[in-house]
Amino acid sequence: MSSMASSTTFFAPIHDFTRARRTPTTTLPPLPFIKSSFASSKSTFYHPALSLQPSSNFPRLFTKPKTFSVHARAATEKTIYDFPVKDIGRKDVSLSKFKGKILLIVNVASRCFFPGLEILAFPCYQFGMQEPGSNEDIKQFACTQYKSEFPNFDKVDVNEPFTTPVYQFLKSSAGGFLGDLIKWNFEKFLVDKNGKVIERYPPTMSPFQIEVC
């Protein structure tokens, strides 16, 4: 199985993410959550569909979903590697370092976390105000509370009016049930070894149901 890279990525031309905080534009209700325990690698997480530990609810073998109404569009000439991003420290990062790897790109919030899988994770404040902290707060929270070792990226907007370019690319490559709109944290985009978007999954989709080989 191909390895995935875990992080929070933003593809550019880089926006200025230092602008004043805006009121979240999405008004969907927060996902239900359960009490979490992080005492070991067998911990449970906020929502069953976001858990990255095997359980009786999910098969151990990865199986490809069949009915999520995902409408993949014709591939564009661009790839994910064409979009520069900034890491959590606001330093420029080239995504070409991930060439040859299958990537799972996810918009996440540290208060609704999703540890365990190697991903490219983009913190976002547009859903239920679950990511109110600064980049340093996010980094500290991920490292101390979840022992996160994957690279973290700059906080982004995934929906209008200030959608970051990398998410414009992702959404234009694979529309969802509500069109381009990202519905909530943990919307997932699977990117192949050549930097092309090959599938899009809803927030409730468990990583254990995603076929990556």
Q: Kindly give, in sequence order, each residue whose CB lies less than 8 Å from that of residue 151, ignoring residues fewer than 6 positions away.
A: 5, 6, 7, 8, 9, 87, 88, 93, 120
Residue 27 identity: T
Q: Which helix (H) or strand (E) holds 191?
A: strand 188-191
Query: Could you tell me the sign of the dihedral formed by the alpha carbons of 167, 142, 210, 94, in that order?
Result: positive
Q: Which of 179, 173, 193 is nearest to 5 (CA)?
A: 193
CB 52 within 8 A of CB 163: no
Alpha helices, DSSP H, located in 42-193: 135-146, 165-173
CB 117 within 8 A of CB 6: yes
The residue from 112, 124, 143, 213 that is catalytic is 112
**Radius of gyration over every alpha carbon of the chain, rounded to an integer in angstroms:** 16
Is 112 among the catalytic positions? yes
Residues with active-site annotation = 112
